[in-house]
Amino acid sequence: MTMHPEDLDQLAQARREEEAQYRHRICVCMAAGCLSSGADKVKAALEAGVKERSLEKDVLVKGVGCMGPCAAGPLVAVDIDGVIYHDVTPDDVPAILDSLEGKPVKRLEMPKDSPLFQRQVRIVLENSGKIDPESLEDYVAANGYAALFKVVTEMSPGEVIEEVTKSGLRGRGGAGYPTGLKWSTVAKARGPRKFVICNADEGDPGAFMDRSVLESDPHRVLEGMAIAAYAVGADMGYLYVRAEYPLAVKRLKQAIKQAERQGFLGNNICGSTFSFHVDIRLGAGAFVCGEETALIASIEGNRGQPRPRPPYPAEVGLWGCPTLINNVETFANIAPIIRNGGEWFASIGTEKSKGTKVFALAGRVVNTGLIEVPMGITLREIIFGIGGGIPDGKRFKAVQTGGPSGGCIPEQFLDMPVDYESLASVGSIMGSGGMIVMDETSCMVDVAKFFMEFCMTESCGKCVPCRVGTVHMYNLLDRMTKGLARMEDLDLLEELCDMVRHTSLCGLGQTAPNPVISTLRYFRDEYEAHIKDKICPAGVCQMATAEVYA
């Protein structure tokens, strides 16, 4: 069907009026984290309880996306901006229903004045935890697809790119390349046709940002892709999602069908000449396929291996055609930028790092989960404010950002602003948004070994520096954690880091040494203790009983 702006308004108003009929709205987080803790049973119990008490006309029970505090799930929110309950079980349902006309259930209540909620600025996650991710009507009622209609009916492709450029948005997939510049390059490129690809191949250990956004607000990503396609002149898009995200894939497939049925995707969108189709491609879990050219090779049905650049995908990409590639979070920022204006987005963050950033806060921190903060916030505010500090009275030791491609940042930089330039200056990167906190029980040599083993295993093997160099670095680190290394091995490790970093073909190999380089830079004493004294200061590594060199 052909959807027009007035039809969009009617669809949104109908859903708002439908929900306004209920006195109470109980939202149950149905993202993967809460589902793994039994959220589906809690939702079923709530629905049964409402029916048993004949409250169907007064109480709406609905499943929603990620609310943020993943470790505290199952999570249940009562009414918009109302109380949030944590660690809910089916046995708690009677008390929750009893509380609807009275006081909240104190033993389950999460404090609303907690920094976990107060210090966040939600743009990408503005709908997460509030709308049903499986309902197109819910998304439309939250101003969904309004930006797409504005673009198609009121703006030229050049004006769209200008607005994105004005916003200062940088790619949220890792490198932080200016989004407006990338779009402009693809728009100017010549080819038989153009493609838009959403990179949802999130492979960093401890990272779950993209997964949560896709599970919680899939239409938002589709809308961002459609706007991008209009701006650059593409008519086909692909979502490259790893197969380990079955819930995200399921909801994406459903969202695509819903959007096509209502005319938000497909032919002649909004009665215009603009057509855009989206398909899903499943990745087999290869970390290297997060690299643009390897991802393209995988979509084409080939082995996921990178190729030399230039030419860049913006000029020669999928099947030799100009191709725009952005990640999930980047596309999720597009609709609010169009709705509110580029200057609005640019007013948030720092001079060179605009807007907000979604992080998966994990590791040794009280409040683990999904957070969204303005660029420029300090690490201390994130870890000790929003994160609630280090549990069990332990001392903070380091925070690792950027996944296997990032670095470990010590305590002396806790008051450093979180932006692209600041993180790079201390030997780390923003990455896609993984943030793993470590305390005094972590051994930094063992941490470096863990990430090196990951990179060694995930290397596609195409280039010798990465294929062979990561193996040698891992072997050296393994010897150190066993007390079998010599001091000269430390020099050899640094030489290998430099060689792999500067001679590898793609970003996997070029950044693989980062965890080693950063831990050597800030925790060299731990390396020397493993080698000279044959001890692990953190008590993590099991030293060999015999002092032999193998």
pLDDT tens digit sequence for 395-428: 999 999 988 888 999 999 999 999 999 999 999 9
| Whole-angstrom distance, CA of residue 78 vs CA of residue 25 | 6
Same domain, 183 and 257: yes
- Closest alpha carbon to 536 in 476, 451, 446, 449: 446
Tell me, yes or no, whether 122 lies in a domain: no
Query: In whole angstroms, how far apart are CA 275 and each of 263, 266, 268, 322?
Result: 10, 6, 5, 17
Tell me, yes or no, whether 54 lies in a domain: yes
Type of residue at 186: V
Question: Tens of pLDDT along 280-297?
Answer: 999 988 889 888 999 999
Tell me, yes or no, whether 136 lies in a domain: no
Same domain, 367 and 335: no
User: What single string gives the DSSP state of each residue in 20-72?
Assistant: HT-SEEEEEE-SHHHHTTTHHHHHHHHHHHHHHTT-TTTEEEEEE---S-GGG
Same domain, 149 and 97: no
Query: In whole angstroms, how far apart are CA 448 and each of 16, 34, 427?
Result: 51, 31, 14
Over 61-89, what HEC string results? EEEECCCCCHHHCCCEEECCCCEEECCCC
Structural contact between residues 463 and 509, judged by C-beta atoms closer than 8 angstroms: yes
Q: What is the pLDDT of residue 270?
A: 84
- Closest alpha carbon to 209 in 418, 350, 420, 68: 68
Identify the domain boundary among 325, 346, 367: 346
Same domain, 381 and 516: no
| Whole-angstrom distance, CA of residue 514 vs CA of residue 455 | 11
- Closest alpha carbon to 200 in 322, 119, 285: 285
| Whole-angstrom distance, CA of residue 400 vs CA of residue 391 | 17
Coil, helix or strand at residue 538: coil
In whole angstroms, what separates CA 501 from the centre of its chain? 25
Q: What is the pLDDT of residue 207?
A: 81
Spatial neighbors of 223 by CB under 8 A, at least 6 apart, are: 144, 145, 147, 148, 264, 334, 335
Average pLDDT over residues 157-167: 97
Query: In whole angstroms, how far apart are CA 229 and each of 148, 259, 340, 463, 476?
Result: 11, 15, 20, 34, 47
Task: Identify the CATH number of the domain in which residue 370 sits.
Answer: 3.10.20.600
Same domain, 169 and 305: yes
Token pair recorded at residue 437: 């906190």
Tell me, yes or no, whether 135 lies in a domain: no
Same domain, 477 and 405: no
Same domain, 399 and 477: no
End-to-end Cα spacing for the chain: 70
Average pLDDT over residues 267-281: 93
DSSP state of 263: T
Same domain, 389 and 333: no
Q: Tell me which residue range forms the domain holding 72.
A: 20-113
Task: Identify the CATH number of the domain in which residue 39 sits.
Answer: 3.40.30.10
Phi/psi of residue 81, nearest 5 degrees? 60, 25
Average pLDDT over residues 204-225: 93
Spatial neighbors of 172 by CB under 8 A, at least 6 apart, are: 326, 327, 328, 329, 330, 333, 357, 358, 430, 432, 433
Identify the domain boundary among 94, 113, 132: 113
Q: Is the peptide bond before 374 cis (omega within 30 degrees of 0)?
A: no
Question: Tens of pLDDT along 293-338?
Answer: 999 999 999 999 999 889 999 999 999 999 999 999 999 999 999 9
Token pair recorded at residue 536: 């692990």
| Whole-angstrom distance, CA of residue 123 vs CA of residue 400 | 24
Same domain, 396 and 287: no
Q: Are strands 434-439 and 369-374 parallel, antiparallel or unpaired?
A: unpaired
Ordered strands of the 407-410 beta sheet: 369-374, 356-363, 434-439, 396-401, 407-410
Tell me, yes or no, whether 8 lies in a domain: no
Task: Identify the CATH number of the domain in which residue 308 sits.
Answer: 3.40.50.11540
pLDDT at 114 over 90: no
Count of residues making up the chain: 550
Tell me, yes or no, whether 509 lies in a domain: yes
Q: Are strands 434-439 and 396-401 parallel, antiparallel or unpaired?
A: antiparallel
Identify the domain boundary among 346, 373, 395: 346
Tell me, yes or no, whether 544 lies in a domain: no
Same domain, 336 and 376: no
Q: What is the pLDDT of residue 1?
A: 65
| Whole-angstrom distance, CA of residue 335 vs CA of residue 219 | 10
- Closest alpha carbon to 280 in 200, 375, 393, 169: 200
What is the chain's Cα-based Rg?
24
Q: What is the pLDDT of residue 403?
A: 84
Q: Are strands 76-78 and 24-29 parallel, antiparallel or unpaired?
A: antiparallel
How many Cα atoms occupy the beta-carbon half-sphere of 204 within 13 Å?
32
pLDDT category, 200, cuts 50, 70, 90?
Answer: very high
| Whole-angstrom distance, CA of residue 153 vs CA of residue 157 | 11
Token pair recorded at residue 203: 């492979």
Tell me, yes or no, whether 376 lies in a domain: yes
Tell me which residue has tokens 């069907």: 1
pTM of the model: 0.94
pLDDT at 544 over 90: no
Average pLDDT over residues 462-478: 95
Coil, helix or strand at residue 208: coil
Q: Which of 115-119, 409-413, 470-474 has the lowest mean pLDDT?
A: 115-119
| Whole-angstrom distance, CA of residue 336 vs CA of residue 125 | 11
| Whole-angstrom distance, CA of residue 450 vs CA of residue 467 | 17
Tell me which residue has tokens 């070029």: 510
Type of residue at 74: P
In whole angstroms, what separates CA 530 from the centre of its chain? 35
Q: What is the pLDDT of residue 204?
A: 81
Spatial neighbors of 156 by CB under 8 A, at least 6 apart, are: none
Tell me which residue has tokens 């999570």: 75
Same domain, 208 and 105: no
pLDDT at 549 over 70: no
Q: What is the pLDDT of residue 546?
A: 45
Q: What is the pLDDT of residue 205?
A: 80
The mean predicted confidence, pLDDT, of the chain is: 93
Same domain, 198 and 172: yes
Type of residue at 352: K
Domain count, the chain: 4
pLDDT at 232 over 90: yes
